[in-house]
Structure 1
C-alpha cells in the first residue's frame, strides 16, 4: 500500500497599519501521512495587533478564510469547526491544528496578523 503525503507550505502576512511588522512561523513546510495531525504555529511582534487570521489556498478552491483568533477568542469558520482547532492569543501567537489530514488538505496556509479597528 502506498501512503499519500500531504505538503503544507506556510506563508505569513502582516497586514498594513503598523509600519514595521514581523511575523514568524514554524515549520515552513510539513509533510504528513494520511490521517495524521498537522500543526502550524504563528507569532507576531506588533503590540497593537490583536488578531491572527488563517487562510487556505489551493488550486481547486482558491483562497478560503478558515477562521481567526481575537485576543483569546477562537473563531473557526463553520465549515472548518470539525476539521481544525485554533489555539493561542491573537495579540502574540496562535496555532492551527488540522485533524486527520487528507489529500484535500494539501494547500498553502497563510497566517495574517491584524488589529481591530474600533
Structure 2
C-alpha cells in the first residue's frame, strides 16, 4: 500500500493537493502544487522517506520540467503564479511510500 502525507497549506500562498492519499501497489499517484507569488517561476518536488532523508525529484522552471537522473516520476505543468504543476508517480511500490512536497522559488538567468 502506498501512503503519502502532504501539507495542504505549507504557507498560505502555496497549495498542494491532495493532503494525503492511500493507493494500492501498481497504481498511479498524482499530486498538484500551485502558488501565488508574483516573481516565483520554479516549482521543486521533494520526497522525504521514513528515515527523514530528503530527495530532490526534479523541478519545473516556468513550463520546462526536469527530472533528476535515476528518478522515475513525471513532472509537468507551469511553475508561474496561479498555475498548476503536477507530480505523477506510476507503478507505485512499497518504497514509493513517503512524504512528498513542493517548494517554489525565483530563478533568473541573469547573473548579478
The 3 A distance-change label for structure 1 pair 61 and 78 is farther
Within 5 Å, which residues of 2 pair with 1:39-78?
39-60=30-51, 62-78=53-69
SS for the counterpart of 2:30 is: strand
1:7 to 3, 7, 31: 3
**1:86 equivalent in alignment to 2:82:** no
User: Which residue number in structure 1 is paired with residue 96 of structure 2?
Assistant: 105
- Aligned position for 1:35: 26
> Aligned-pair distance for 1:94?
0.1
List, as ranges, runs of 4+ consecutive aligned residues in structure 1 with deviation greater than 4 Å. none
Alpha carbon RMSD of aligned pairs, Å? 1.6
d(CA) in 1 for partners of 2:84, 2:107: 16
Question: What is the number of residues matched between the two proteins?
Answer: 106
2:105 to 70, 90, 114: 114
- Secondary structure (helix, strand or coil) at the match of 1:116 reads coil
Greater fraction of residues in strand: 1
TM-score, L = length of structure 1: 0.83
Check whether the contact 1:52–1:93 (CA below 8 A) recurs between aligned residues. no
